[in-house]
């Protein structure tokens, strides 16, 4: 499928790489199809580009790269999306980043709203975690140097 994006111009993505978000993305009504764009020059950051809106592209990242102790219970996602029985290693966890005017050392991550992608089914859901020790503005550079080639496993 070919479509235009504001950030990358026209791109061609195989239909089997389009990620469906049947429940949508909170705050972005009607935006239910996305594609994960990984560019070597922007690693470890990825783009979560909307197929439905060329102007919507979120910068996302594997949270385990900057917070090895991050833990998220994906049981609600498995239940809500009827993913029971799907292998946990087929689940990828990403968090949405915010880049602040103060520069690259002021990047924050939304650790209470992870996006869980079932890579087997090309479906995703954004969890909203209540009563969490995490923040929606967790500093990315706080813990350690961010690595560029991660594993993205659940339950790490």
How does pLDDT run across 9-45, given as a tens digit for each residue?
A: 899 999 999 999 999 998 899 999 999 998 888 889 9
The pLDDT of residue 155 is above 50: no
Question: Which pLDDT tens digit goes with each residue over 81-95?
Answer: 888 766 777 889 999
- Of 21, 22, 89, nearest to 58 (Cα)? 21
Residue that the structure tokens 């923040």 belong to? 135
pLDDT digits (tens, 9 = 90+) for 36-67: 998 888 889 999 999 999 999 999 999 999 98
User: Rounded CA gap, 141 and 5, in Å?
Assistant: 29
Give the model confidence (pLDDT) of 89-148 as tens digits: 788 999 999 888 776 678 899 999 999 999 999 999 999 988 888 889 888 876 545 444
- The pTM for the full model equals 0.83
Domain architecture of the chain: domains with CATH? 2-139 (2.30.290.10)
């Amino acid at each position: 499928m070919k479509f235009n994006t504001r950030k990358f111009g026209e791109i061609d993505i195989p239909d089997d790489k389009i990620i469906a978000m049947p429940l949508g993305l909170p705050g972005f009504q009607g935006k239910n199809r996305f594609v994960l764009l990984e560019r070597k020059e922007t690693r470890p950051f990825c783009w979560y580009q909307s197929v439905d809106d060329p102007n919507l592209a979120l910068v996302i990242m594997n949270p385990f790269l900057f917070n090895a102790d991050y833990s998220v219970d994906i049981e609600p996602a498995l239940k809500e999306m009827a993913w029971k029985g799907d292998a946990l290693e087929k689940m990828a966890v990403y968090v949405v980043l915010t880049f602040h005017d103060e520069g690259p050392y002021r990047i924050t991550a939304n650790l209470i709203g992870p996006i869980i992608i079932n890579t087997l089914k090309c479906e995703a859901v954004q969890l909203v975690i209540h009563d969490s020790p995490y923040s929606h503005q967790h500093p990315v550079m706080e813990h350690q140097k961010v690595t560029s080639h991660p594993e993205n496993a659940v339950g790490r």
